[in-house]
Amino acid sequence: MVFLGTAAFAVPSLLAVADAGHDVLAVVTQPERPGSRGRPAPRPVADAAGDLGLEVWQPEKVRDPAVVASLLELRAAALVVASYGQILPGALLRGPRFGGVNVHASVLPRWRGASPVAAAILAGDEETGVSIMQMEEGLDTGPVFAVRTLPIGSGVTTPDLTADLARIGANLLVEVLAGLEDGSAVAEPQDQALATYAPRLTRADALIDWAGLSAVEVDRRVRALQPWPGTVAPLAGAEVRIVAGAPGVSVTPAAPGTLLSAGAHAVDVATRAGVYSVHEVQPPGRRPMDAAAYLRGRRLTLPAAPVAAG
């Protein structure tokens, strides 16, 4: 096979197929990019492939005809794709005997696209999962070999859920590949009428409007938009990154954005509906700190936060 992947989500799948004894002819991953503060961006798949002693390819565009020709010359039986980050051309997908097999972090056809884990949390879905799909030229439109579901916990974040789905997806991938080899794997078409899409996240998604969102919606955003783009909101007269929090105890209604009370570590803020308790913030250019300490640094004092009964 040829394995194509870039993000950390793909690493368990790469390790699983190697451990299962599949012959990985090459690992294709995105080119190196600059990271924060001049340091190279993390390259989890490239690093994992290097540890396994596998050949790593980093083409700028996998659709380049010369790249396609070089990959087809490897005569792989399958392309295995997990969180690669580029659309594969039809000429490449049609080459291998088993085509392209994709590990996608949702229960297709729900949340096709680039950010399925964040989309599931933002929507308040009770569960998500992993789909192993036969790839087509469309965006996550191909028939599905297998699905495994996972409940979404009330406080789960995108990094936590992604790690769980990566592990589950790797195990399911190995099962499907075994089914392809012995002829038992059958892919079922998706119901196109049920399709929803999870677009790529942008910096604009980070902005929290206390007047436009309920406490539950703010909580979903803070959990879903980690680690990027994060969430930014006005607090005590300045914009800060909201690192962690949870819906708080209801109090007398107040204008959205009003600071209501403070505990030992948290600060309660009025939203469009309900109260959001900010636990941890990160002011610009500083390290994360608990919200109450941030408030004290700005020399603001609030009434003590109410204590929930029971």
What is the helix (H) or strand (E) element at residue 67, kind and residue range? helix 65-73
pLDDT value at 88 more than 50? yes
Q: Where are the domains of the chain?
A: 2-198, 203-297
b/e burial code for range 53-68 (CB count within 10 A of at least 16 → b):
ebebbebeebeeeebb
CATH number listed for the domain at residues 2-198: 3.40.50.170
| 3-class secondary-structure state, position 297 | helix
Strand (E) positions, the chain? 2-5, 26-28, 56-57, 79-82, 100-104, 112-113, 127-134, 144-151, 197-198, 232-235, 238-247, 259-262, 267-270, 275-282, 289-290
pLDDT for position 11: 98
- What is the residue type of 158? T
pLDDT for residue 38:
62
Query: Which residues lie closer than 8 Å to 160 by C-beta, 6 or more apart?
Result: none
Handedness of CA 177, 183, 185, 191 (dihedral sign): positive
Q: Where are the alpha helices (DSSP H) in 126-284?
A: 158-182, 215-224
Least confident of 34-43, 99-108, 192-201, 300-309: 300-309
Q: What is the pLDDT of residue 297?
A: 85
Q: Please, what is the average pLDDT of the chain?
A: 93
| pLDDT tens readout for residues 195-237 | 999 999 999 999 999 999 999 999 999 999 999 999 999 998 8
Candidates 3.10.25.10, 3.90.1150.10, 3.40.50.920, 3.30.565.10; correct CATH number of 203-297? 3.10.25.10
Per-residue pLDDT at 306: 60
Please write the tens of the pLDDT for every residue from 133-190: 999 999 999 999 999 999 999 999 999 999 999 999 999 999 999 999 999 999 999 9
CB 28 within 8 A of CB 2: yes
Query: Quick one: which of 228, 307, 287, 294 has its CA closest to 259?
Result: 294
Question: Over the stretch 272-308, which tens digit does the pLDDT of each residue have?
Answer: 999 999 999 999 989 999 999 998 887 766 666 565 5
